[in-house]
Amino acid sequence: MRDAPPRPDPPFARRRFGQHFLANPRTATRIVEALAPAPDEPVLEIGPGRGALTAPLLEAAGRIAAVELDRDLASELRERFDGDRLVLFETDVLRFPLRKVAPALGHPDGSLLAIAGNLPYNISKPVASKLIREREQVARAVLMFQREVAERLTAAPATKAYGPLTVLAGLAYRVTALFDLSPSAFRPRPAVWSTVTRWERRDPDDLPGPLEQPLRACLAACFARRRQTLFNNLRAALPGGADDARALLLETGLDPGARAESLPAASFVALAKLWPQHLVPPDGSRS
């Protein structure tokens, strides 16, 4: 079965899914070139939509998996693409375990994924958080975000965009911005610009599994009120109030008068290592 061209009339974009379909073939090619999928590795596309990125991914990789929630779009994808080449999961990517992808494509369990996607705006940050939580399954990714989210992912300390997502993503991956896209690259046109980002997996020791949940809790507390000092935010979060805050800051050697946005990731790692275990959120929490 040969892959068919897309239908001339696109289905109605559902606002609740945050859908904006990529309409620039050159952009799709650039994303695939940046991902550089190899024929011998499992490839996953998140949110294939009408297949603008799916077609060049299949051309480069031969066989891929994709996750699509919209049943009408999933039906169109099944009609258009050979089912042996496109393994389609019709489900919510936020509830879909990435560990299922490699075996479904015939690769050994635990094979690392190359991931691509034009992410719906309304789930972009949750998807980023998911990739952090499930980083053991990912080799690299090339993902498109609303530019504001991309700025958060790549921000430096002491900038407005710097926050918990910056720290977590930066410890799990080397995240870089590749290029921006104007609203004219999509149908329907969004109200904002988008940015394509590259994610390259870091050494697992940079964010050990047992440290992730204490770090999420620590970041939530430290950034709770951005204009407050580290001491004031910790005093409000810790059960012992000011005494616990002073003790924690003294042991880590951090300036009580500093603001969270001025601290490098290493400072939060130091705090997380001493974070009270009874204040650690469950594994399903998101930052």
Measured CA to CA, the distance from residue 221 to residue 232 in angstroms comes to 10
CB 219 within 8 A of CB 168: yes
Query: Within a 10 A sphere around the Cβ of 47, how many other Cβ atoms?
Result: 26
CB 216 within 8 A of CB 241: no
DSSP β-bridge partners for residue 113: 138
pLDDT in tens, the chain (287 residues): 456 555 554 444 444 444 578 988 999 999 999 999 998 899 999 999 999 999 999 999 999 999 999 999 999 999 999 999 999 999 999 999 999 999 999 999 999 999 999 998 889 999 999 999 999 999 999 999 999 999 999 999 999 999 999 999 999 999 999 999 999 999 888 999 999 999 999 999 999 999 999 999 999 999 999 999 999 999 999 999 999 999 999 999 999 999 999 999 999 999 999 999 888 876 644 44
Quickly name the fold that domain 15-206 has. Rossmann fold (3.40.50)
Residue 15's pLDDT is 47
**For the stretch 228-249, what's the b/e string if a residue is b when 16 or more beta carbons lie within 10 angstroms of its beta carbon?**
bbbbbbbbebbeeeeeebbebb
Quickly name the fold that domain 209-279 has. Helicase, Ruva Protein; domain 3 (1.10.8)
Residue 188's pLDDT is 85
Give the residue extent of every domain in the chain: 15-206, 209-279
Measured CA to CA, the distance from residue 169 to residue 166 in angstroms comes to 5
Nearest C-alpha neighbor of 115 from the set 177, 43, 61, 179: 43
pTM of the complete model: 0.91
